[in-house]
Chain A
Amino acid sequence: MVAIRTENLTKIYKRKYLFSSKKTIALENLNLEIEDRKVFGLLGLNGSGKTTLLKLLVGLLFPTEGSIYIFGQRVPHLSLLSRVGYLPEFPCFLMYLSASELLHFYGKLYSFSLKEREKRVEKTLDLVDLRENRNDRLADFSKGMLERIGMAQVLLHDPELLLLDEPTSGLDPLGVKKMRQTILRLKEEGKTILLSSHFVTEVERVCDQAGILHKGKLKRVIEMRGLEVSLEDLFTETVSEDVV
Chain B
Amino acid sequence: MKKIFAIGEYTVKENIRHKIFYTILLFAFIIIVSSVLFSMLSGEEETRVILDIGLGAIEIFAFLSAIFAAVGLVLGEMENKSISLILARPVRRFEYIWGRYVGILSISLFNIFLMSSALLILLFIKGWRFDFRFLLAVTFIFLKVIIISALAILISLISTSAISSISATFFLWVLGHIADHLKYLNHVLLEKGVKITILLKTIYYLLPNFQYLNVKDYLGYPAPIAGTTIFWQVAYSLAYASVATWLSVLVFSRKEF
Shortest beta-carbon distance, B65 to chain A, in Å?
17
Listed by A's residue number, 10 A-B pairs whose Cβ atoms lie within 8 Å are: A55-B84, A58-B87, A59-B88, A79-B90, A92-B81, A92-B85, A96-B17, A108-B3, A109-B6, A153-B85
Interface size for B (C-beta < 8 A) is 23
With known contacts A60-B256, A61-B256, A109–B82 Cβ distance under 8 A: no
Interface size for A (C-beta < 8 A) is 28
Interface window among A82-90, A168-176, A187-195, A216-224: A82-90
Which residues does chain A contribute within 8 Å of B181, judged by CB atoms?
Answer: none
**Within 8 Å of chain A (Cβ to Cβ): is B10?**
yes
**Within 8 Å of chain A (Cβ to Cβ): is B130?**
no
Shortest beta-carbon distance, B19 to chain A, in Å?
11
Q: With the chains together, A92 CA to B3 CA distance in Å?
A: 20
Which residues does chain A contribute within 8 Å of B189, judged by CB atoms?
Answer: none
Chain B residues at the A interface, C-beta cutoff of 8 Å: 2-3, 6, 9-10, 13-14, 17-18, 80-82, 84-92, 256-257
With known contacts A92-B80, A111-B2, A82–B10 Cβ distance under 8 A: no
11 new A-B pairs (CB below 8 Å) besides A59-B87, A61-B256? A60-B256, A86-B85, A86-B88, A93-B82, A96-B13, A96-B18, A105-B9, A105-B10, A106-B85, A110-B90, A111-B3
Which residues does chain A contribute within 8 Å of B14, judged by CB atoms?
Answer: 94, 96
With known contacts A96-B14, A97-B13, A109–B86 Cβ distance under 8 A: yes
Which residues does chain B contribute within 8 Å of A58, judged by CB atoms?
Answer: 87-88
With known contacts A61-B257, A94-B14, A105-B10, A82–B90 Cβ distance under 8 A: yes
Which residues does chain A contribute within 8 Å of B85, judged by CB atoms?
Answer: 86, 88, 91-93, 106, 153
Which residues does chain B contribute within 8 Å of A93, judged by CB atoms?
Answer: 82, 85
Which residues does chain B contribute within 8 Å of A91, judged by CB atoms?
Answer: 85
Q: Are B257 and A60 in contact (CB under 8 A)?
A: yes
